[in-house]
Structure 1
Amino acid sequence: MRVLGIETSCDETGVAIYDEALGLMSHKLYSQVKLHADYGGVVPELASRDHVRKLLPLINQAMAEANCQPSDINGIAFTKGPGLVGALLVGSSVARSLAYAWKVPAVGVHHMEGHLLAPMLDEPAPEFPFVALLVSGGHSMLVSVKGIGSYEILGESVDDAAGEAFDKTAKLLGLDYPGGPLLAKLADSGEAGHYQFPRPMTDRPGLDFSFSGLKTFAANTIRAANDDPQTRANIAYAFQEAVVDTLVIKCRRALKLTGLKRLVIAGGVSANKQLRESLQEMMVKMQGEVFYPRMEFCTDNGAMIAYAGLQRLCAGEREPLSTKAQPRWPLDSLNPL
């Protein structure tokens, strides 16, 4: 089976073609970063309009790169949710229209399931079961994964997600949008020992996350500090260290709770170098394994949607013609395959 995957959940337009036997045949991505930079964050209406402009040209490019005709496509997968409802409707409308015109089935994919399965795009792929840490701008969650669609939420963010806290703290430090990667780069020139940030919700049982208080702590620290480059770098270092330590502590708890030795980390924050190094060190001590997507598949992309959609199409799932977007969609409500 050969699947066209479409991702339009937020501010990236992603298109890919994945073949069951040949693997990833093409992958195209357009980022709206410059469009939203002047506003300091994503403007939903602008995001939706830009998806309308960019999606069909990207599909044409992906088809040409894979040397495919419509008759070569056996199914279409699209991000059904969660995400911005207007952006989701662009992708779902185009996907369902093409599926109708090309006389192939379509399937709606859960955005976070796409991220969770993104490490499967490379070798070696993680084997089931495993614990997944999903960390992005909108989500921070720990999931026990027994198989595709068999998910148990162990813990999740009760307020700001890790990526959201990174971006908001970066803005407080005067960094451009999107701030998370820029904060991580600034932290590289920071020094340890100047500031001590709290590790939220690690002094109590459980696996939920809360980064809103950490963001407030950062705001108060920035307000009281000298406004010079090294001080800002030191604050960025301390903030990143606190987020990474918190995620590592929670991952260790989840692995001990489940008895598993295999960890998958995915989502935009999974590209953070300090987080990768810290989790790798933890898994070596625990005599386990950790898996990540390649860097280009950490952020939103069509390849992960094509792969996840392939699995569900092969299992017989189909989307009705009257499909709707689901801006809110619990991960643990999916059907196991």
Structure 2
Amino acid sequence: MSLLILGIESSCDETGVALVRVPDTAPGAAALPVPQLLAHALHSQIDMHQAYGGVVPELASRDHIRRVLPLTTQVLADAGEPLSAVDVVAYTRGPGLAGALLVGAGVACALGAALDVPVLGVHHLEGHLLSPFLSADPPEFPFVALLVSGGHTQLMRVDGVGRYAILGETIDDAAGEAFDKSAKLLGLGYPGGPALSRLAEQGDVAAFKLPRPLLHSGNLDFSFAGLKTAVLTQAQRLGDALEARKADLAASTEAAIVEVLVKKTLAALDATGLRRVVVAGGVGANRRLREQLNAACQQRRVRVHYPELHLCTDNGAMIALAAAMRLQAGQQQAGRDYAFDVKPRWPLDAIVAAA
């Protein structure tokens, strides 16, 4: 019997809702069928937060309250399904902003109670990690995953749903933070990462010699705080000349971040012996990262998989998908206990399945 899963994402500054169908598994099938995305809708709060130079948590929470039910109505209409057809309601339980998470959790559990269907809290980063399974070229297990989302940069070995081994992670600023903080130092506003990448296309990547932290550390950990400091120092040295050299500094900054991400990913492939890479999270949309990683992996005859560009940022589709794949794999049971909590700080390895 197929399942219809409604997914709600509200961890930060985007409200996402999606409907995913889990197809029936054919008798004797060698692999589980990939869940099908029927419809999804997303509202970004970028315009609202731009005036403040970053996300204001209270404003984010209030906007989620306004958006989540209209988006749910839109998704159901787009999919041609009534609310009564929903079998499971999934929501982002963490990590994220506490108030924002509570909005999605509250709405999901209220819907679950009203429909008398199970609810399931999903780990936000697992949603990103599994999101390439909704692409036109879905991966197969096992693979090395480069997870670059907001304040998280991690390399892991993924052998199946819930079977994750952390190979390396950031010890201070993540790649996304390095993009955003460097952009702020250059006066590029919010959201900084995409703005820096657009400006970098006009600059010279070799204009400034910036550090590549931990590039030769012998492990798979990351550190980008030193790079941010180097960008600040260079901007101060330029003084009044910064405006004329801003594109060059942006290009050199992006090149430093991407080089570290690519070389650490290749080192993870060497360490594991795997021949497949999945890149997930917002930074996975970066054009330079995709070009350089694709070229390096093509030389090694390694397959690379990404989410569709419109699913790189936070979205409800990845939450519905993660819930679907967990249920398919028997890693988690959806329940009818509608008392909920959220986990603003929730390490991904806390949901690892027993071997």
Q: Do the structures match in fold with TM over 0.5?
A: yes
- Structure 2 CA distance for aligned equivalents of residues 55 and 139 of structure 1: 25
| SS of aligned partner of 2:126 | helix
Q: From 323, 327, 332, give the equivalent of 2:340.
A: 323
**Which stretches in structure 2 are left out of the alignment for 5+ residues?**
24-34
Cα deviation, residue 318, structure 1: 1.9
CA distance in 2 between partners of 1:168 and 1:312 (Å):
35
Q: Provide the residue aligned with 2:30 in structure 1.
A: none
Cα displacement (A) at 1:25: 1.0
Selected match of 2:263 from 237, 240, 249:
249
CA distance in 2: counterparts of 1:30 and 1:321, whole angstroms: 26
- Aligned CA RMSD, in angstroms, stands at 1.3
TM-score by length of 2: 0.92
Q: Tell whether 2:38 aligns with 1:25.
A: yes
Distance 2:103 2:248 in 1: 42
1:151 to 160, 164, 182: 164
Q: 1:214-265: per-residue Cα shift (whole Å, max 9, x none)? A: 0000001011115354410110111000000000111011111111010000
Which residue of 2 is the match for residue 282 of structure 1? 296
Identify the residue that residue 216 of structure 1 maps to in structure 2: 229
**Partners in 2 of 1:283 and 1:204 — Cα distance?**
22
Structure 1 segment 99-110 matched on structure 2, within 5 A? 99-110=112-123
Could you tell me whether the CA contact under 8 Å between 1:136 and 1:164 is conserved in 2? no
Which runs of no fewer than 5 residues in structure 1 stay unpaired?
none
Letter of the aligned partner of 1:174 in structure 2?
G
Contact persistence 1:8–1:88 (CA under 8 A): yes
Distance in 2 of aligned mates of 1:8 and 1:94:
10
Preserved CA contact (<8 Å) 2:164 2:352: no
Deviation at 1:336, TM superposition (A): 3.0
TM-score (norm 1): 0.97
Partner amino acid, structure 1, of 2:5: V
Alignment of 1:263-274 (within 5 A): 263-274=277-288
* Aligned match of 1:65: 78
**Alignment match, 1:34:** 47
Q: Against the structure 1 CA distance between its residues 179 and 120, is the aligned structure 2 distance closer, same or farther, given a 3 Å change threshold? A: same
**Contact 1:75–1:313 (8 Å) recurs in 2:** no
**CA positional deviation for 1:203:** 2.1
Task: Describe the superposition over 1:13-57 as per-residue Cα deviations: whole angstroms up to 9, x where unpaired.
Answer: 000001123711111000000111111111111111110111111
1:308 alignment counterpart: 322
Deviation at 1:193, TM superposition (A): 2.7
The number of equivalent residue pairs is: 337
Structure 2 equivalent of residue 165 of structure 1: 178
Which residue of the other structure, out of 70, 92, 99, is the alignment partner of 2:105? 92
Query: In 2, Cα distance between the equivalents of 1:114 and 1:194?
Result: 38
Q: Which amino acid is 1:215 matched to?
A: K
Does the 8 A contact of 2:135 with 2:306 survive in 1?
Answer: no
Q: Which residue of 2 aligns with 1:135?
A: 148
